[in-house]
Amino acid sequence: MVATDAHPTARGAGAATTLRVGWSTELLGYDFGFGHPMTSDRIDLAIALAAQLGLLDRPDVEVVGSAPASDEVLATVHDPAYIRAVHAAAEHGVPDLARGLGTRDDPLFPQMHDAAARVVAGTLDAVRAVWEGRTQHAVNVGGGLHHAQPGAASGFCVYNDAAVAIRDVLGAGAQRVAYVDIDAHHGDGVQDVFWDDPRVLTVSIHETGHALFPGTGYPTEIGGRGAEGTAVNVALPSRTDDAGWLRAVDAVVPAVVREFAPDVLVTQHGCDTHRLDPLATLRVSVDAQRVAAHLLHDLAHEVSDGRWVALGGGGYAILDVVPRTWTHLLGVASHRPVEPSTPVPAEWLAVVRQRYGREAVARMTDGAPATFRPWSGGYDPANDVDRAIRATRTAVFPAMGLDPDLD
């Protein structure tokens, strides 16, 4: 797949900017504290690397901050009682274990509400700017908090920024929104919010729930009554590598997104699929993650006139994986993709060395070919990944009017 720099048919082609990036230092407040995997260093290092590679200072790239989203906005997805509980947890240190607040995954911190609400506002700003034609693409690497439920925190996620933004753009006039999640963990929170809504397609490519939190996301989960076929889940075997992971993305995502024909494409780019990630056991490279970003970018230009909002998500190899992967994402979204052979700037490497006392990977590549055999090449029933793909296509394609053997 080759990304192009010019898309004259895209609705956003006449937009003020090519890319709108949600970023301010206030976003670093979303941090569960020392030793927790969800450290804000992930975002800080990613933005710093992108900046030093010159991706954020282009005249057609706008970097914007945001104030926390209001309780009224949050309540479009989240229960008011839960929002009050988050306020109490933040302001008075009051845990609410029944609502996931004060658990090991989601420990309390003083700015919990404001920090989480600011992430929501960043994704909300992104989708509004894309929908209104003020930018072609928008990226919020601090977003993608896909596990948060309407009434509970879950899996390091307090508020579900993607769900709030999708609901907002539906209210603004979008008829259909597709959400594609390539995090190692199932995008359960977004799926649950829109389970019965035929206007929203949720697609998740993840490590099987038999092995990984949250234990959901099986092929038979295809949507609620009246929305059958709008939830799509590929549950991959543990230790799936580049060839299998990209084959799964290619075998499922383009077909279902094209058939759904969304007005807006929202994608979540959790990079805990990487082989170095400490919380999952997939074996994907930075190079394959870059290929997937290109695929999703090009798909947005094909099906939704370029209206694309890309979010961060998981990813806990904070020095060697997250900054490079999300910098590649920003490069793709700005129509200036970073060549894999590009050296990581010496200044960035020096900051890592000083702050963490070790060397980081010195190039923007893992040296992986990131190639795969397209699904059109045939199904291998002896292959675990092929069986997982086949299970998804068999379960959901007919509900979408697609032939699992041909499309």
**What is the distance between the alpha carbons of residues 322 and 324, in angstroms, rounded to a whole number?**
6
- Active-site residues, by number, are 147
3-state SS class at 378: coil
Cα 71-72-75 angle, rounded to 5 deg: 85
Here the tokens at position 208 are 């099987």
Rounded to whole angstroms, the Cα distance separating 20 from 18 reads 7
- Matching residue, tokens 């020392």: 34
CA distance 195 to 223: 5
Smallest CA-to-CA distance from 304 within 339, 254, 269 is with 254
For every residue of 41-105, DSSP letters joined together read HHHHHHHHHHHHTTSSSSTTEEEE--PPPPHHHHTTTS-HHHHHHHHHHHHH---BGGGTBTSSS
The torsion angles phi and psi of 298, rounded to 5 degrees, stand at -65, -35
Residue 19's H or E segment, with its range, is: strand 17-22
